[in-house]
């Protein structure tokens, strides 16, 4: 275990940051479509573009955190996010908004890859699995913070209020990280060339399956954030009411994380928990598909999020065990893989405009992938 442990509360905040800044944006998708005179599909595509840029950011920040250190990379990423958010505030055209989203996503990626790398620097073995489980419980609060605050800001101040809130959040995190975030990079970190490492990872079938599982579960979660605002509008509900759905989803993620922690304590192996989560996701997806014409679809959607809370900590804690000596660069390339896959999944979601069908497809693919992963 590394002696230079970052404060747990700060790591939690930085880990939650990328998910909060994305979910806070979801309630304004209908306003974006109206304000910029674009279709629902085009408005939803902003999520696909976001994660495409996020994937590139994961590689850049992961590489930089190995070269210049975890702390400088984190501060630079937060500053980049703030610049993108400021541009979004000033945007008058949809193309400018897309550019702002690209810059913001590139910066926000630092909260994912560098925070995970710092945890891998600081913990090992069962301690690492437990810390990721705690992070999973913390992440259960991200949707409720994002959706509820986004819904309230959208109702009262419009989409400009949401972007203003994001700019303030970026400034606060930058100041706090500048004051309290330590450097955790090991003294013996290997600075290997990315190409040989990428070739090694491309040949790792288990790593590909892990990346696909992470992408599929995130496609299910962010597919909800992308498509549900329009489902709520079709049911005659407001952006604020959509925002409050985050409370149910946060509760479900918390339940999933607690369930995961309990089963880990009972001796369950991560592979068994991942298989359980994939099965639950498929069943819940079928139930969402059959009930999405009414608000009752939220109940099986909670099942999707419980599955997410069980699966993601176990996949992430096991994925890079063979790459600890190059954790930053390996984490960057791994993140590139699953965020590119997530971007593709959200592009499909925007084209489908059918949440239930998307969840069924992702659940089935996850179960197939999980079966191959365990063989």
pLDDT digits (tens, 9 = 90+) for 267-278: 888 888 999 999
Q: 124-138, 216-230, 357-371: which range is least confident on average?
A: 124-138
Average pLDDT over residues 270-292: 93
pLDDT at 1 exceeding the cut of 50:
no
User: Most confidently modeled of 228-232, 252-256, 335-339?
Assistant: 228-232
pLDDT at 373: 54
* Cβ-Cβ contacts under 8 Å for 331 (sequence gap 6 or more): 58, 62, 113, 116, 117, 120, 320, 323
pLDDT of 152: 87
pLDDT at 120: 77
- Residue 375, pLDDT > 60, answer no
Domain ranges within the chain, ordered by starting residue:
8-373
* Tens of pLDDT, residues 106-152: 999 999 888 888 887 777 666 676 777 677 667 767 777 888 888 88
Cβ proximity of 304 and 249 under 8 Å: no
Topology of domain 8-373 in CATH is: Growth Hormone; Chain: A; (1.20.1250)
Tell me which of 169 and 246 has the higher pLDDT: 169
| CA dist., res. 254 & res. 261, Å (int) | 10
Taking only the tens place, the pLDDT of each residue in 159-196 is 899 999 999 999 999 999 999 888 877 766 666 677 88
In this structure, is the dihedral angle defined by the CA atoms of residues 313, 315, 321 and 323, taken in order, positive or negative? negative
Q: How far apart are CA 97 and CA 167, in angstroms?
A: 15
Transcribe 256-323 into DSSP letters: HHHHHHHHHHTT--HHHHHHHHHHHHHHHHHHHHHHTTSGGGHHHHHHHHHHHHHHHHHHHHHHTGGG
pLDDT at 29: 85
- Whether 328 has a pLDDT exceeding 80, the answer reads no
- The stretches of 109-238 forming alpha helices (DSSP H) are 110-122, 125-139, 141-180, 194-202, 205-234
pLDDT at 295 over 80: yes
Cβ count near 177 (within 10 Å)? 21
Residue among 105, 334, 130, 117 nearest 213 (CA):
334
The per-residue pLDDT of the chain, averaged, comes to 86
pLDDT confidence of residue 245? 86
pLDDT-derived band at 341 (thresholds 50, 70, 90) equals: very high
- pLDDT of 190 reads 60
**Minimum mean pLDDT among 73-87, 136-150, 280-294: which range?**
136-150
167-176 pLDDT, tens digit each: 999 999 999 9
Residue 356 has pLDDT above 90, yes or no: yes
Which of residues 27 and 77 earns the better pLDDT score? 77
């Amino acid at each position: 275990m590394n002696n230079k442990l970052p404060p747990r509360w700060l790591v939690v905040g930085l880990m939650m940051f990328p998910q909060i800044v994305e979910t806070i944006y979801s309630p304004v998708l209908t306003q974006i479509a109206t304000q910029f005179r674009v279709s629902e599909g085009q408005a939803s595509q902003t999520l696909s573009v976001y994660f495409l840029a996020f994937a590139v950011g994961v590689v850049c920040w992961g590489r930089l955190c190995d070269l210049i250190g975890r702390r400088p990379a984190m501060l630079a990423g937060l500053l980049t996010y703030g610049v993108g958010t400021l541009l979004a505030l000033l945007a008058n055209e949809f193309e400018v908004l897309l550019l702002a989203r690209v810059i913001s996503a590139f910066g926000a990626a630092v909260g994912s890859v560098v925070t995970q790398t710092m945890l891998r620097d600081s913990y090992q073995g069962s301690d690492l699995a437990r810390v990721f489980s705690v992070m999973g419980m913390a992440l259960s609060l991200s949707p409720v913070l994002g959706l509820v605050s986004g819904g309230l800001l959208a109702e009262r101040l419009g989409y400009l209020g949401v972007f203003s809130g994001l700019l303030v959040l970026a400034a606060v995190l930058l100041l706090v990280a500048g004051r309290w975030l330590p450097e955790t990079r090991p003294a013996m970190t290997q600075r290997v060339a990315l190409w040989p490492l990428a070739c090694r990872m491309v040949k790792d079938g288990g790593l590909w399956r892990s990346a696909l599982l992470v992408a599929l579960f995130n496609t299910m979660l962010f597919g909800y954030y992308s498509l549900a605002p329009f489902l709520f509008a079709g049911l005659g509900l407001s952006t604020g009411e959509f925002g409050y759905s985050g409370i149910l989803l946060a509760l479900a993620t918390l339940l999933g994380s607690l369930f995961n922690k309990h089963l880990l304590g009972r001796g369950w192996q991560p592979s068994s928990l991942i298989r359980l989560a994939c099965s639950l996701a498929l069943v819940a997806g079928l139930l969402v598909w059959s009930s999405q014409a009414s608000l009752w679809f939220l109940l099986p959607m909670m099942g999707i999020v419980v599955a997410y809370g069980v699966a993601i900590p176990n996949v992430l804690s096991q994925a890079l065990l063979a790459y600890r000596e190059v954790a930053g660069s390996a984490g960057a390339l791994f993140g590139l893989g699953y965020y590119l896959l997530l971007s593709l999944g959200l592009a499909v979601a925007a084209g489908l405009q059918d949440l239930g069908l998307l969840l069924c497809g992702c659940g089935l693919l996850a179960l197939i992938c999980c079966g191959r992963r365990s063989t």
